[in-house]
Structure 1
Amino acid sequence: MMINARSLPRPNAHDRYRPVYHFTPPSGWLNDPNGIVHHEGRWHVYYQHNPTQPTWGDIHWGHASSADLLTWRDEPLALAPSPTTADGQGCFSGSFAWVNGTPTLYYTGWQNGVQTQCRATSQDLMTWEKDANNPIIPHPPEHVRQDDFRDPYVFQHGKRWYMVIGASLHHDRGAALLYRSDNGQQWTYLHVLHTATRTDQGVMWECPNFFPLGDRWVLVVSVWPKLGARYFLGSFEDERFTAEREGVIDGDGGAFAHLTAVGPDGRLLQWAWIDEQRHRDLIVPGGWAGVLSVPRQLALVDGDLYVQPVSELTQLRDKLLCGGEVLIGPTEPTGFQGTHLDLQLTLEADIEHPVHLSLLCSPDRSEETILTFDPGARLLKLDRSRSSLDPRVNRDSQRVHLALRRGERLELRVLLDGSVLEVYAGGRACLTSRLYPSRTDSVLGRLTAERVTAGTFTVWTMGEDKGPPR
């Protein structure tokens, strides 16, 4: 049965955990963002989707589009499993490419535990025809299992097409495999593009991206199982990648399956999947699961990868709750309240003591989530131990390394959207999380420091007048 996403009812708009300015599916399950492209004035984002249940399974490709990166219109489903074929049990993740002017999706088919690479084409980005020769890559190379072979990322370099596939070597080390094609249809395996060299780099690499940025090439991989996203910076010459630097995009696995695309203005934008971190019993009644991050802009700064929310998000700011210069101390917190907010905090340079930002607090603070920058430990930490009184939600704490240079000020951008939290630290560190307070009065916030600290702090409400889809 063909399902049209536009006909599916959106779950209760009054669901307090459902974000208002992050994209969610009309109903059912969402995970990885897939092919992303800008065409004729609109962004098109495809994504992993179960249209009938808010749980993983029966994976299709959902589709949404936007003229402004802020408001999204649900489009018809792009891909659905075809029984008895290579994708009979799921159309898994992949990417988009213009091949000789034809919109083309590359994706992983799943059938009876076997992963193969498939292809579909379109004339209008709405209806897609699967290649009669699917699977176009039926087998992995030596030392890669048939179920460790997925998520093709396709790009053109010079006159040739290249595909990078996520894999595991000997089911022990994450790897990105490189293929080459002259026409985007027949593919030749070349070699391992890059592989894990340490145990903390993971057993399996999923959702690889490989793209130029400035004078460098960037390889982004999602480290399975849910160990976050890593990037490697280096050179790509003679079809060989030499990694020179590495880092973490999202610490502690809060976001996953990052996917990158170039906009008409040359900006390099990226989306990621933010999963549910609560028990199935709490998810199913709501009828939806999974969120995409806000669009993020990537840049190369001082030879390293920087990640920030796109500037368009400021258009969603509504009421200014507080703003201006502040003296932050331990006894008189700067207070605010709200569940859909955009916060910016800039502190004086060379602070030596922790600063705390509390969110979604109840009046008695029995529920409270605390974001702390500890300059001595060089950590940005998110304490979720009291984020909810409900034991069925994930309350593990998260952290990411953040070492400020001498004379550098801390600059935090915090996006709170119902249950979604994204934290950006000067472009150099990112934490993504989910928060599910059980009390309806857990809406308060406070800013404190262990010693008096000067800074600027602004808080806006967000998305109250987002308007209809465009």
Structure 2
Amino acid sequence: MIAVTSTTADTFRPALHYAARNTWLNDPNGLIHHEGVYHLYYQTNPLDSVWGNMSWGHATSTDLVTWTEHPVAIACDAEEDIFSGSIVFDRHNTSGFGTGSTAPLVAVYTSAYKTASARPGIQAQSLAYSLDGGYTWTKHPSNPVLNRGSADFRDPKVFRYESDAGSCWVMVAVEAQDFEVVFYKSHDLKDWELLSSFGPANATGGVWECPDLFPLPVDGDPENLKWVLTVNLNPGGPNDGSAGQYFVGDFDGTTFTSATTVTNGLQDPDRLGEYQWLDWGRDYYAAVSFSDVPDGRRLMIGWMNNWQYANKIPTSPWRSPMSLVREVSLRSTDGSWRLVQQAAANLAPYAGQTPSFNLGAVEISHGQHVLDGAAGSVQRIELALTPGTAEEFGLVVRGDGAQGTRIGIRPTEGLLVVDRRESGQTDFHESFASIDTAPIQATDGSYELALCVDRCSVEVFAQGGQVTLTELIFPAATSTEVSLYAIGGTAILNSLSVTQFA
């Protein structure tokens, strides 16, 4: 096994985010907290640093920051690639895979059948089980357990549904090309009954993938639960390429009913900004949640990349990191509901020896102003800003005077902006250099931003996590400056703090 920590040295390898040691990585799979350990499984190519030979990689953590990489958990073979899926703890041994007093972990995954198989071109759902806590896996000999004869039926997320009438397993999967989420139930994880379907709705600019369904209390009230259905799509995101959307409504054990649908059927291109997005950035995809997290917390993680340029990003020998793990909650706002996201891990133990940088209220004049003593390559930056006369104002991170990633507010337009056109290496793909935006409104006349800056990424949590925007960047190792800026006038910095991590 390989411990991947913040001391691992190369130009872009993240300090606070998981990346495989020397292979390709994409969708998170099989997320579960079991016996005190967080398990992160993920799509990997064990043989290369580009997509292919899809298998399940495996990493574990006890604190969601430091991850230990383990051998491939479920490997592809001559007949099938192992596509995305989920893991449940079958504590009552409903599947019969357990032995004696040992209850199994059961992986439900998509078999993408190859030409050499008896089902060439078909995607169907299969099982594997583990009796050692998730480190070794045995494929069910009667796979697949659910086959619709479809080439695009994939990404099962399974959970235990409890009601007054009893309990059962519920599977949420997709018919990707039909923009349709399908719901099934089972009592033993082997025999499945179709319940209902949902979609098309809202964003349909690309195939639907990697769904999830879970309840959340509204404003923390356990007596007021709503259900959240997340669906990732590629392409068709709000800033182009891959993205994830969500719907809020009710689930009665059979049917999900959305209360936040903007457009039924195929999307209206003019209403893309009205849909509810998990993240407005270019690099947060295939996000799903962990099962069995203590204290009822709902934690999610996404693949930090975009299918437009995923195979081309300039990292070697690894390719693609995961996002930070995020805790999500549900807040009522303006007669509807909004997901609020915050970094889930306690990062304080990983702060470096460099003292934090703090700055009180100052006016930001037109231009760019380097903050002496704030430079760094791995940082958490928190700041509050109040508009003045400037048309745009904010912060430049990972800068060197001529380059940097600009993160700012355009108050008149109501936009949060991330400009990575001068963020370092951008010419590896024609679509990478970009200005990406998200809608944002002032709260009591000001804006609050929390930024997690790592060696190849920026995650922006705005207005207490009501808006998030995630971007890969590839700056030079020497590009570490932090600057304030304003364009066309002035603004007020109310406060700023910088914590260094490496």
Q: Under TM normalisation by the shorter chain, which class is it?
A: 0.7 to 0.9
Distance in 1 (alpha carbons) for counterparts of 2:351 and 2:493: 25
Aligned to 1:69: 64
Letter in 2 for 1:20: A
Match of 2:259 among 236, 244, 251: 244
Aligned to 2:427: 391
Q: How many residue pairs get matched?
A: 438
How many percent identity over aligned positions? 29
1:201 Cα deviation (Å)?
A: 3.3
Contact 1:352–1:376 (CA<8 Å) still a contact in 2?
no
Aligned to 2:457: 420
Contact 1:328–1:447 (CA<8 Å) still a contact in 2?
no
Q: CA RMSD in A?
A: 2.5
Distance in 1 (alpha carbons) for counterparts of 2:369 and 2:472: 24
Letter in 2 for 1:75: H
Verify: 1:178 aligned to 2:178, yes or no.
no
Looking at secondary structure, tell me which structure has more strand per residue: 1
Aligned to 2:85: 94
Distance in 2 (alpha carbons) for counterparts of 1:457 and 1:9: 31
Match of 1:139 among 123, 148, 151: 148
Name which of structure 1's ranges 331-340 and 152-161 shifts more when overlaid on structure 2: 331-340
Contact 2:172–2:181 (CA<8 Å) still a contact in 1?
yes
Contact 2:242–2:284 (CA<8 Å) still a contact in 1?
no
Verify: 1:212 aligned to 2:221, yes or no.
no
SS of the residue 2:428 aligns to: coil
1:382 Cα deviation (Å)?
A: 0.9
Letter in 2 for 1:422: E
SS of the residue 1:312 aligns to: coil
Aligned to 1:235: 250
Is the alpha carbon distance of 1:351 and 1:345 closer, same or farther for their aligned partners in structure 2, counting shifts above 3 Å? farther
Distance in 2 (alpha carbons) for counterparts of 1:223 and 1:61: 21
Q: How does 1:12-411 map to 2 (within 5 A)?
A: 13-84=8-79, 88=80, 90-99=81-90, 100=92, 101-112=103-114, 113-124=121-132, 125-140=134-149, 146-158=150-162, 159-168=167-176, 171=177, 173-192=178-197, 194-198=198-202, 200-214=203-217, 215-225=225-235, 226-237=241-252, 239-245=254-260, 247-261=276-290, 262-275=292-305, 283=314, 286-302=316-332, 303-318=337-352, 319-331=354-366, 333=369, 335=371, 336-348=374-386, 353-363=391-401, 365=402, 367-388=403-424, 391-393=427-429, 394-405=432-443, 407=444, 409-411=446-448
Is the alpha carbon distance of 1:70 and 1:244 closer, same or farther for their aligned partners in structure 2, counting shifts above 3 Å? same
Distance in 2 (alpha carbons) for counterparts of 1:218 and 1:244: 10
| TM-score, normalised with respect to structure 2 | 0.82
Aligned to 2:471: 433
SS of the residue 2:179 aligns to: strand
Is the alpha carbon distance of 1:80 and 1:392 closer, same or farther for their aligned partners in structure 2, counting shifts above 3 Å? same
SS of the residue 1:82 aligns to: coil
Distance in 2 (alpha carbons) for counterparts of 1:288 and 1:30: 8
Contact 1:148–1:204 (CA<8 Å) still a contact in 2?
no
SS of the residue 1:57 aligns to: coil
SS of the residue 2:465 aligns to: coil
* Structure 1: unaligned runs, 5 residues or longer: 1-5, 141-145, 465-470
1:445 Cα deviation (Å)?
A: 1.6
Distance in 2 (alpha carbons) for counterparts of 1:222 and 1:138: 22
1:196 Cα deviation (Å)?
A: 2.6
1:278 Cα deviation (Å)?
A: 6.1
1:315 Cα deviation (Å)?
A: 2.8
Distance in 2 (alpha carbons) for counterparts of 1:279 and 1:164: 26
Is the alpha carbon distance of 1:189 and 1:361 closer, same or farther for their aligned partners in structure 2, counting shifts above 3 Å? same
Contact 1:328–1:334 (CA<8 Å) still a contact in 2?
no
Aligned to 2:497: 458
1:404 Cα deviation (Å)?
A: 3.1
1:321 Cα deviation (Å)?
A: 4.2
